[in-house]
Amino acid sequence: KKNDFSGKKILITSGATHEAIDPVRFIGNHASGKMGSALAAAFAVRGGMVTFITGPVTAALPQGMHQTIQVQSAREMYEAVMQLVSEADVIVMAAAVADYTPATVSPQKIKKQSAELTLVLHRTQDILKAVGERKNASQLLIGFALETENGKEHALKKMEEKNADAIVLNMWEDGKTGFGGDTNRISV
């Protein structure tokens, strides 16, 4: 149906997050934002009022969004999602959010000084879990998982622990699927 999401508020996260080490370096992953952008565009074409929250991406930003919010870090994404989640009918958490962030960020570029550099990392806030704890019975929450092993078991556990209604499982296949390509293999 062309307008089956008409009047529905859709919240989608997309892309990676970049956790600063210093002004020029970060910890991140290879997420391109293609999946989140494609989902956001599909919801918009079907009449949804889409709020698109994205970390840094290589994919083009989708057109026809009600609102687009660009963030850098897991903390910024958490804050943007928490401000808007109560208004959403459907929440799609497609972003590849960093699980850890540096404990301190150097105000200047870190120079090569010794053969090793140790970074202390702290866990980031779990956005999917926080949304799952706050969602009401009328909201649909869809999470994403990328796994390299035991995918189904990890995805089912994640769905239960995060109080999601569904999990989209991406299986990593040594660069053939998972990040940035036009081909992907998923299970819901």
Catalytic residue of the set 29, 150, 170, 184: 29
Tokens of 102: 């540096």
What is the pTM (predicted TM-score) of this model? 0.88
Beta carbons of 147 and 177 less than 8 angstroms apart: no
Helices (H), the chain: 34-45, 74-84, 127-134, 151-161
Q: Which residues of the chain have pLDDT under 50?
A: 177
Average pLDDT of the chain is: 89
How many angstroms separate the CA atoms of 129 and 141, rounded?
10
Active site residue 29: yes
pLDDT score for 59 = 79
Integer angstrom CA distances of residue 132 from 50, 102, 152, 170 = 19, 26, 20, 20
Show the tokens assigned to 141: 């929450």
The whole-angstrom separation of Cα 100 and Cα 58 is 22
Residue 10's DSSP bridge partners are: 50, 90
| Residue 133 phi, psi dihedral angles, 5° rounding | -70, -25
Residue 184: its pLDDT value, please? 63
